[in-house]
Structure 1
Amino acid sequence: MKVLVLLGLAALACLASSQCNCKTMKWATCDGTPCSCFLLTGTDNFKQSLNCQKLIPKCFLMQAEMNRARKGEDTRTIGGKPVESAFVDNDGIYDPVCERDGKFKAKQCNNTEECWCVNSAGVRRTDKGDKNTINCTELEKFAPKVGSQTLNMTNIKIYYVDEKPPTFTMKNLSGGIIAVIVVVVLAVVIGLLALVRTHQH
């Protein structure tokens, strides 16, 4: 009889622990009563607590993904197989610094001396610069406006909106552009010279 009672208690404990999971984040670790979930982030495996009743902020997701990639664990998959290009953007994957509420900090450095400013989606919006000289203002909360009047909306769904355009410069591309222009001009000049020469004969 004692064995049956112990088996019953063990089954209830297993059932209770299986109900403690995060439906919005498959990489979360959950335990305790009441159930609490967290993600391991950063190089020091910081336990970032999560609210699994809401969508997980992108910044936390990127941190968790970088943490898993550092450990050689599965990150994003297609058909069960990891796809490296799945998490690479124009600048490559980076380990973001997040606010406590999951928003991106305006200045990101990826644990290096070179930093850049990001928008609310964590996308680079300025040229990269020295950690000590680059100045990024705080991220602004999105408020839809028409002219100077703020719109009052209910049930609005915004997937990505960036009020300010990126402030990239072409200084890193100027050498390549000049080379292309020189080659095109030389090709045109040589073509014209060849054309003139053939008409003279």
Structure 2
Amino acid sequence: MELPRRAVFLLGALLALAAVVWSQETCLCKNNKRTTDCSLVNGVCLCKSIGLNITVDCRTLTSKCVLMKAEVIGLKTGRRKKPDTAYVDNDGIYDPECDAEGNFKPKQCNGTETCWCVNSAGARRTEKGDRNITCQEVVRTSWIIIEAKHLERNTATGEGSIEGTIGNAFSERYQLDQKYISVMYEKPFITVNLKQNASEKTINDVDIADVAYYFEKDVKGDTIFSDKSGVKFAEPLQFENTVIYYVDDKPPEFSMKHLTAGVIAVIVVVVLAIVVGILVLIFTRRKRGKYEKAEVKEMNEMHRELNS
């Protein structure tokens, strides 16, 4: 009787192990290829993000901070008037510090003594300083402006159709609610406005910063989606000259940030002209003083000759 009991116990253990293995079946994270250790738990594909011990829910988009962290780890191994506070992230990718929820920490550093403050999209919004720089909060990016130009197409499509197609594609491909999207088209220029205030965003909404990052990677041919058969832009548009502007709830703290090279050159020319003018005035006065002294000397000599 002892042997059958052991056999039943062993069989039960094997069944329990099989149940665990079955419940944690491996899966593919369709919305983020920069993941590892993926398993299917209660029908949901959960993975670990590369470079961070953060669980990624593959049903939705992954936060930009987590995506940038994974990319760095891998590497180591305007048509319309925009707000005056809109700025472009010219620093490119860096190794970010993310909090436990995968969001950017307010202060970022480059591994040395250089640090700066960022917005919720991870874009630098202050001048760079040392490690003593103070970043009180992560200022939210509530408006992202995407400007792009599309290449020539063989099919003729109306402006309204293109605007609707792009808006729908952003909603379907990046899971963003249509209320946060508006598209303007002036052939061949496309402007996509993503507006999302903190008070409007619900716990189930994806963040517009994450959407813009996914789109940027799609345009560059480095898609984050692992599912090649995912939602595509129905209209065969090829984007080029894509620029992304960030508008935060608070203005950025740059100095001379918006001065272009041309404007700076004009300022330099004006300053040089003023300096040259001052120098000319000084030399002219010196020559005039010498002339006046010589003239007085000649007049005195003439008076002495007349009186002699």
Match of 1:49 in 2: 55
Aligned partners of 1:101, 1:141: CA distance in 2, in Å? Answer: 16
Amino acid at match of 1:164: K
Distance 2:134 2:128 in 1: 11
Q: Normalising by structure 2, report the TM-score.
A: 0.39
Summarize the Cα distance change of 1:53–1:136 in structure 2 as closer, same or farther, 3 Å threshold.
same
User: Take 1:70 and 1:30, find their aligned partners in 2: how far apart are those partners?
Assistant: 20
Change (3 A) 1:154 1:97: closer
CA distance in 1, matches of 2:97, 2:134: 16
Question: Which residue of the partner structure matches residue 159 of structure 1?
Answer: 208
User: 2: distance between equivalents of 1:93 and 1:49?
Assistant: 22
Deviation at 1:126, TM superposition (A): 0.6
Instruction: Report what 2:49 is aligned to.
Output: 39
TM-score by length of 1: 0.57
Inter-partner Cα distance in structure 2 for 1:151 and 1:135: 23
Aligned to 1:59: 65
Q: Which position in structure 1 is the counterpart of 2:94?
A: 94
Instruction: Give the whole-Å Cα distance in 1 for the aligned partners of 2:29 and 2:38.
Output: 10
The 1:70/1:54 distance shift into structure 2, 3 A limit, reads same
Q: Secondary structure at the match of 1:123?
A: coil
- Which string of whole-angstrom CA distances, capped at 9 and with x for unpartnered residues, describes residues 4-61 of structure 1? xxxxxxxxx8xx53xx1212101211344635311221xxxx4332121221000000
Segments of 5+ residues of structure 1 without an aligned counterpart are 1-12, 72-88, 145-149, 189-201
* More helix per residue: 2
Give the C-alpha shift of residue 163 in structure 1: 0.6
Deviation at 1:98, TM superposition (A): 0.6
Aligned length: 144
Q: Mapping of 1:1-201 within 5 angstroms?
A: 16-17=25-26, 20-32=27-39, 34=41, 36-41=46-51, 46-71=52-77, 89-132=89-132, 134-140=133-139, 153=200, 159=208, 162-170=248-256, 179-183=268-272
Structure 2, unpaired ranges of 5+: 1-21, 78-88, 144-196, 210-246, 278-308
Q: 3-state SS of the aligned residue for 1:38?
A: strand
Alpha carbon RMSD of aligned pairs, Å? Answer: 3.8
Aligned AA for 2:253? T
* Partner SS state of residue 103, structure 2: coil
Greater radius of gyration (CA)? 2
CA distance in structure 1 between the aligned counterparts of 2:127 and 2:58, rounded to whole angstroms? 35
Deviations 1:71-115 (A, max 9, x none): 1xxxxxxxxxxxxxxxxx512321110111111100000212111
Kindly, what percent of the aligned residue pairs are identical? 44
